[in-house]
Chain A
């Protein structure tokens, strides 16, 4: 019995959640198509969605660039060291 009441309650609650006119949870669900507010929210969402990828790829790019530069610098330094040749470095 308790299970049935719980099931009915969850079902009812889910039905309420799926009705935007009741809870107004979605800020862009109530506006019509081609609405300026809807477009504004959508562009903002796209921008905010893409920013983390841009940030992480920028950091990764900088780390890769630093790695390459460090390797090149080390190679130059070891090549210019007196008495050390490529053969000895192996």
Chain B
């Protein structure tokens, strides 16, 4: 059966195209990282601090959990369970905040150990890649707070929840990107 109604709103489609551009932006950064990483005989370069793999691994789990709560929130609004939706959006925002706080703490320690943007190519690449991702998480978190306030005011229903849907799409992208960056920058 062919659906008569459009499969998604214009806003949803717009965010989808925007995410395509975002993906290409990060692809450019990853491409630059690969050139330096693979072209270097020793990585990380000598006399550079090692990255906290365990702490960031735990942080990765927190961020992945936030994607699950976000998707469950979206499902809750489709099932007209609005209280559950509000609760799940709040949990997602809290998990995202924890991720950013841990990242901030990690950066504080790395700067203390001498890894800065200008200290080496290693530092420059690390802060550019991870910093831009952190900036995206922060932006998504602001969006999430706006969505939470709107949800509290009862702006979303089963039929009308474009704000939540687009925010969930963006959040999923930001979360899905992180394991790739973690694997590339921290583990590889």
Q: Contact residues of A with B, CB < 8 Å?
A: 36-37, 39-41, 43-45, 47-48, 51-52, 55-56, 58-59, 62-63, 66-67, 69-71, 73-75
Contacts and interface: CB of A to CB of B under 8 A. Distances in A.
A52 B32 CA distance: 16
Contacts of B38: 36, 39-40, 43-44
B183 interface: no
Interface of B: 1-5, 7-8, 16-17, 20, 23-24, 27-28, 30-32, 34-41
A43 B3 CA distance: 43
B16 A55 contact: no
B4 A74 contact: yes
The main secondary structure of chain B at its interface with chain A is helix
A40 B35 contact: yes
Contact of B35 (A44, A55, A73): A44
A80 to B, nearest CB: 14
Contact of A55 (B1, B24, B39): B24
B34 A47 contact: yes
Contact of B1 (A51, A56, A63, A75): A75
A52 B24 contact: yes
A41 to B, nearest CB: 6
A38 to B, nearest CB: 9
A19 B20 CA distance: 38
B80 to A, nearest CB: 14
The residue among A40, A52, A75 with the most chain B CB atoms within 10 A of its own CB is A40
A20 B35 CA distance: 21
A59 B77 CA distance: 24
B25 to A, nearest CB: 11
B3 A67 contact: yes
A87 to B, nearest CB: 15
A67 B2 CA distance: 8
Contacts of B4: 74
Given A59-B17, A71-B2, 15 more contacts: A40-B34, A40-B36, A41-B39, A44-B31, A44-B32, A47-B34, A48-B28, A48-B31, A55-B23, A56-B20, A59-B16, A62-B16, A66-B8, A70-B5, A75-B1
B39 A40 contact: yes
Contacts of A66: 7-8
Nearest to A31: B39
Contact of B7 (A39, A47, A67): A67
A30 B35 CA distance: 16
A40 B38 CA distance: 5
A62 B20 CA distance: 12
